[in-house]
Amino acid sequence: MNTTGSKTNRGNKSSDMLTPEELEKYKQLLLDTKQKILTKAQQAVAGGDIHLDKNEMMDEVDLAAATVGQDLTFRMLDRDRKLLAKIMHALTKIANGTYGFCEGTGEPIPKRRLELCPWSQYSVKFKEHTEKMGSAGGDDEAEAG
């Protein structure tokens, strides 16, 4: 992986470089989103949304309805788990000085993109290129938060 120093020598616009204040802002956004995900997961477990006792079901219709609800909860938790991994990756990049740079090109990710999706690993330009080439899976970036 390139170091921050080598990336800044590519003639990037200084407006694309993140200030310490901006890095702190993005770090706080990431930490806030992380906390929301963890709280939502704790509430799902505490609320019993992921518990299914087949002995309590009256008939097959009740069982089917409960299973569908549980499946939806599992899908949402899995999506959140993947997003949490991206957030942790972004926090690691902040700590090691590589945050805000596209992992595909090494170029700065536009601040506007980071504001919308602070866990972005790639620039829009690079993602579009990889999607055209067919090398991007559908799970590259979770844009929901």
Q: Distance (Å, rounded) from C-alpha 81 to C-alpha 84? A: 5
11-46 tens-digit pLDDT:
445 566 899 999 999 999 999 999 999 998 888 777
Number of domains composing the chain: 1
Residue 8 has pLDDT above 50, yes or no: no
Q: Is residue 79 part of a domain?
A: yes
Q: Supply the pTM of this predicted model.
A: 0.69
The enclosing domain of 113 has a CATH number of: 1.20.120.910
Residue 100 φ/ψ region, left for φ over 0, alpha for ψ in the -120 to 50 degree band, beta for the rest: left
Residue 5 has pLDDT above 50, yes or no: no
| Range scoring the smallest mean pLDDT among 1-5, 83-87, 130-134 | 1-5
Q: Is residue 10 part of a domain?
A: no
Cβ-count burial 82-117 (b if 16+ within 10 Å, e if not): ebbebbeebbebbeeebbbbbbebbebbbeebbeeb
Which comes out higher in pLDDT, residue 128 or 64? Answer: 128
Q: Is residue 122 part of a domain?
A: yes
Interhelix angle 60-96/20-46, nearest 10 degrees: 160
Q: Give the pLDDT score at 110.
A: 94
Q: Is residue 90 part of a domain?
A: yes
Range of the domain at 64: 18-133
Contact 74, 50 (CB under 8 A): yes
Within its chain, how far is the Cα of 45 from the centroid? 21
In the block, residue with structure tokens 């390139």 = 2
Residue 4 has pLDDT above 70, yes or no: no
SS3 28: helix
60-85 tens-digit pLDDT:
766 676 677 677 778 888 899 999 99
Within its chain, how far is the Cα of 29 from the centroid? 12
| Range scoring the smallest mean pLDDT among 5-19, 44-58, 105-119 | 5-19
